[in-house]
Structure 1
Amino acid sequence: MSRSILRLLLACLTIAPWVACGVASAATAQARIAKVRTAVATLEGVRVQLHWPDTAAQGILRMHAARIDAPDLGYRFGDVTWQCPLSHSGNRWRCEGPVRGGRGSAMTLAIDLDEVRTDARLSQGRGSIALNRQARTPDLTRIDLTQVPVAWAQALVAKGWAAGRFSAGTLGGQLDVRAPANAPLRVSGPLRLDGVAFDTPDGTIAGENVAAQVRLDTSFGAVTTVALDGALHGGDLLFGTTYLALQKRRIAIEMRAEQRGNEGWRMPDLRWDDPGILHAEGSAALAPDATLRALDLRARSDDLAPLRDGYLTGFLGQAGLAELQLRGAADVRLRIDGGTVHEAHFVPYMVAIDDPQGRFDFAGLEGDVRFSTTQELQSELRWSGGRLHGLAFGAARLPFASGAGELRLREPTHLPMLGGTVTVDPLHIRPPAAGQGLQVRFGLELDRLDIAQLSQALGWPAFTGELTGHIPEALYADDRLDFEGGLSVELFGGTVQVSSLAMERPFGVAPTLSSDIAFEDIDLESLTGVLGFGTITGKLDGRFDHLRLVDWQPVAFQAVIASDAAAARRDGVRQRISQRAVQDLSSVSDASFVSTLQAQLIGLFDDFGYRRIGLSCYLSDQVCDMSGLGSAGNGFTIVEGSGLPRLSVVGYNRRVDWPTLMERLKAASTGDVKPVFE
């Protein structure tokens, strides 16, 4: 009888490491076993007690193990107990009862054996693991899994992925466990996953509602190997910034992986086939923490439109491009080693890229882009046209050369835009490497861009003039674009100089622009005519320092504008301000105008001479702190009159709400204001 009890013990042991439980026994007749070794696990401190009265049809078996170790499977348990009513008929023995490890919840373990076979079943709720072993094949154990909580496999998965945590889902299938004396433990067979959820403590890797049906072949030894071949049937997966929304599609997968000791995983064979959307194959290597160490990938998409929702939302969302529309097809080859891109090859086939927010779009993208850190390669990318923040540009070609870890233009690229030409020269693109992100360096030459077309595209007043400028170098890095040099704009007979130009998140959420702007000798008659702001003649100088726009709306600046009497005399321009301009200026600046003549005589004149005009606004926190030429009692002078009648415009409100000021400017441009006399 003791041999049969020991077989019960070993049968329980064989199944226990797969489900986070262990077994032992006890009886009135007692046996103590210091250590029991099997191919699967080792038991220590085993006690068996059997209470079976001579006249009883069955006995009570109690088993206890102080410790159970299954190192190949990653399981270790302490204080494991099992109690069951033991019965026999001929050579057949049966025992079924609760088993518990430490303070864990109880499961039900049932053993049924005879001289030629051993059957065991461990269950809890709807989940169960059934085991069968034949005496003629003692090294082979067959296991049937039925709705087994995936959390039961936590310790086994931790052998290859220590950070992985399972929170939901079930396993099903039939597995063969082979445990020969002189060879590694091997587990193989079909496996089914339903509704599986997992993650890591830092949240960089996660899965939700994952379903799969695969064939598994795994061996545990000095080198752990895993082979998977089957299909995913849906779910959501996250790997860093890569988010995969598989929905209910059937995706064929194939993987061969191996791990030596505590090193990371090497995967010499990978295949992913999402029909009509993405086919990829190659190899990869992961560090012990599951971060990507190396990747050699070849991928093709025959339809880029569904690729966005299925595979690119993580990347695009991080860049503020979650709604980007893609059309066409593309091939990609990518080789990464040590976190650095060493080779890349991108081939678009009539690709169209459209940002619904109007930041950019490209049409007819063709050609190819080749990049290498080890050899000189040439390629050329072309497009038929597109838009950048609403500004249309024409067809262009980018002839590339690669080498020394960067992609560069072989010759200047000329881009038709706004009736003029934008020339890009030079252009250097350096992919992420050595802990640094993407870097792009380029120079720009703007030649005679039409300000009228620019104004129309941006919804500005009908400004006229030409935009010409040279930016010797600009750098895009860490989602920030900094420009060296400046832009020179010929506008309203004067010049506008733009310097210290920089952009944050140029294509992301809430793009931010900062710059300093200085203008000189602007013809006031042309400017006020376009703005619908009455008529002022003369010349104007000014500055907008520390200008900052967020999502193209001003949030801060220090602005000072002033008439330039010397420039007006030099060009023979009289300094006059119309009745309409005075009333518009007074309404916008919360001012009134005064004269040495009686107020009622002011309305008899169409315009007035002025000596100086000056106004400043320091914008911060949606409030404009205003001042003018100097103090005037409780106010500040905006217009200092000259001649007869001598008229002055004085402002009294030094703090003006910015949205209110914009409303007044709009009203002034439509003539919907009335003069204020004092």
Structure 2
Amino acid sequence: MIHILNKAGRSMLRPLDSLMNAKFVYWRPIVLVWVTCGIFAWISPALAISTISIEADTVVSPSVSLRKVKAELGLDGHMDLQAELRQKEDADWQALALGCAQAGHPAADEWRCERGEFRSANVRLPFNLLFKQIKADVPQYQVVASVRDASFSNQAGTQAAEKLNADVVLDLRQQADGWQWQAMLDWQGGELFWQPWYFAEGGHQLVANGHYAGDELAVEAANVTLAKVGKAALRARWKAGSLKDLFLDADRLELSAFYSLLLQPLLVDSALNKLDIAGQASVRFEMRQGDPVSALLVLNDVDLEDLDGRFALHGLNSRIPWSYDESHVAQLAYGGGHFLKIPLGEASVLADLNRYAVTMPQLYLPILDGALSLTDVSATRAAGHWHWHLRANLVPISMPALSHALGWPRMEGKVAAAIPMVTYSAGSLTANGDLLFQMFNGNVVVRNLHMQTPLEAASRLHADLEVRQLDLGDITRTFSFGAIEGKLDGDVRGLELSNWQPVGFDARLYSSPGSYRKKISQRAVENITALGGAGAAAAIQRSLLRFFSEFNYKRIGWHCQLRNDICQMGGVENTPQGYVIVEGSGIPAITVMGYNHHVGWSDLLARLRHVTENNPKPVID
């Protein structure tokens, strides 16, 4: 219903019954009501109208509906709109209010809304708005808007803003085939969260121009300035809502701000989600008809370090060109770094890039006094996933230097490894053969290695291990466990790691077959007792055995089946009372028993750290 009142308060138009229950289909229902008020605002002086009010039961559009609409325009220039709004995907109606303290001025071919404000359940948007017709013969318009101290949020919590201040200017000029436009956005302050990105402050600007016609929007030139990050120039074209063409050129972006502002929110579930990064990057990218055609990434003096201590690279420089139609050579070099606390030496890498394939015949990466030598390195991207393979050999590395770098007790000797063909495909890594490691004068073989999502926080590893002829003297001296002389074999079946933590395995450690010196010190007996054995330490203290510093043994054995953080333990044989961990032989001899068949895995690790770090007296459960 529409009422138009003169200064005496009498109706100048009878109620329009046809609009009592009107249902309009329009692109923006709020704009429809607002424009209607504006039309009457232009004619009100000629008709000596004091107040115009409009009421409508329902105003609908494909995406938004209004009901209980009440709009009023006063002679003093104020304008108010009240209604209930529901978006298509929402179940509930929300009350809204839209008003201007001062509106209009048709004589100047412009319409204003000064000290305006839009309010709803989760929105407060104070604004000033100017709509101006610049030329009458050729349709040309200008829209100038500013918001101050605005705030909003959606019900899902994926979009929100606080104390938002921004200015927008839009110029439109009609042409035969559409509209030519120019736009400026100056975001001066306030916080904005637009999942997954969070902008804590303003200082960002956009200046752009282009053309709009039908279902096609073209950005012919745009300059974007991101505070503390840098500037970028771009061109783009959308058709039917899909991005078809894009050209982006950004020079010397500050990586520290760029990473925290734009990249980190996209890397939450990856191994790159916690980086301390500094340096500069230049980026160029071009896409045509929806497909990438060229790119360039240049890094200048970049330092990056994983805050969880897993890896770091320093003095990183690169020039990586790419083209869909031509092959290129990529260059990358770094001055040093570390991987899992293992120092990396200076290295330089050259790679051939051919469309979506990368190949390197050989790559030599210095590590401490040895190196990792990679051969047959090849990678390609197909069907949206990366696929690569390589072979590797670990040139012998000094164990004293390696153990110092890892913060482990000093180990003697050297470690070397031969790694067969390793293949990665669509998030799954597999070793096509056995991995051989030489350490503690023995061998460790890794079989059936398989990893899922190795570069993500939820990575999982499956493997079997075979340990042969490890020197127990070297091991126990390294970890301050107490001296044990002899050889050790072992088998670990069904090893499963989640985020590099054990969640399941069947492990068995036992004395190697053969004839060799087998001795165990009193201190080693005490520490085995502290891990869950009992009786042996007490027997030593109650007998003449306390006068001996070492004992003979026939065999040593221990096994653990880990399930649900519980280790089900056993030894070389079971007895009615428990199980034998160390079976004595000769004179003097001692047998060490275990009585706890079920021990929490985390509790067992804590005890092991305790006995190796503090050399405690026996703990008997």
The residue correspondences of 1:70-469 to structure 2 (distance < 5 A) are: 71=26, 93-102=48-57, 103-110=67-74, 122-123=79-80, 127-128=100-101, 130-134=103-107, 141-149=109-117, 167-176=123-132, 187-196=141-150, 210-218=164-172, 223=178, 226-236=181-191, 241=196, 243=197, 245=199, 247-256=201-210, 258=212, 260-261=214-215, 265-274=217-226, 277-286=229-238, 294-319=245-270, 321-336=272-287, 341-409=292-360, 411-430=361-380, 434=383, 436-437=384-385, 441-464=389-412, 465-469=414-418
Q: Please identify, of 310-319 and 632-641, the stretch whose mean Cα deviation from structure 2 is larger.
A: 310-319
Structure 1 counterpart of 2:565? 622
CA distance in 1, matches of 2:390, 2:236: 34
Of 521, 531, 534, 1:578 maps to 521
Q: Using the TM superposition, give the Cα deviation of residue 519 of structure 1 relative to its aligned residue in structure 2, in angstroms.
A: 0.8
Query: Contact 1:443–1:474 (CA<8 Å) still a contact in 2?
Result: no
Aligned twin of 2:602: 659
Aligned residues with identical type, % of pairs: 24
CA contact (8 A) 1:535 1:578 kept: yes
Is the 1:77–1:101 Cα contact (8 Å) retained in structure 2? no
Secondary structure of 1:176's counterpart equals strand
**1:228 CA displacement:** 1.1
Counterpart-to-counterpart distance in 1, 2:156 and 2:80: 33
Are residues 1:539 and 2:487 paired?
yes
Aligned residue number for residue 475 of structure 1: 424
2:615 is matched by which residue type in structure 1?
G
Contact map agreement 2:3 2:52 (CA 8 A) in 1: no
Quick one: which amino acid aligns to residue 99 of structure 1? I
Superposed CA deviations along residues 139-189 of structure 1, whole A, max 9, x for unmatched, are: x9521122434579xxxxxxxxxxxx99442332311258989x8x76423
Whole-angstrom CA distance in 2 between matches of 1:675 and 1:25: 92
Q: Deviations over 1:437-494 (max 9, x none)?
A: 555544433221333333222222322331322242242744x655444432211111
Aligned to 1:18: none
Asked whether the 8 Å contact 1:273–1:280 carries over to 2, the reply is: yes
User: How much does 1:628 deviate?
Assistant: 1.4
Consecutive unaligned residues of structure 1, counting only runs of 5 or more, are 1-22, 27-49, 113-119, 135-139, 153-164
Partners of 1:596 and 1:323 in 2: CA distance:
53
Residue pair 2:99, 2:117 contacting (<8 A) in 1 also: no
Q: Per the alignment, do residues 246 and 442 of structure 1 end up closer, same or farther by CA in structure 2, a change over 3 Å counting?
A: farther
1:287-320 Cα deviation digits (max 9, x unpaired): 75x6755532111235333333333331344436
CA contact (8 A) 2:496 2:503 kept: yes
Query: Cα gap change, 1:281/1:397 in structure 2, threshold over 3 Å: closer, same or farther?
Result: same
When normalised by structure 2's length, the TM-score is 0.80
- Measured on the aligned residues, the alpha-carbon RMSD in Å equals 4.2
2:581 to 638, 652, 677: 638
Secondary structure of the equivalent of 2:493? Answer: strand
Stretches of structure 2 that go unaligned for 5 or more consecutive residues are: 58-66, 82-97
Q: State the partner residue of 1:45.
A: none
User: CA 1:445–1:72 in 2, change beyond 3 Å: closer, same or farther?
Assistant: same
Distance (whole Å) between structure 2 residues aligned to residue 277 and residue 666 of structure 1: 46
2:411 partner SS: coil
TM-score normalised by the chain length of structure 1: 0.74
1:347, CA displacement in angstroms? 0.7
Provide, for residues 59-85 of structure 1, a one-character-per-residue CA deviation record: whole Å limited to 9, x for no partner.
Answer: 32354352485857666879x999xxx
Structure of higher CA gyration radius: 1
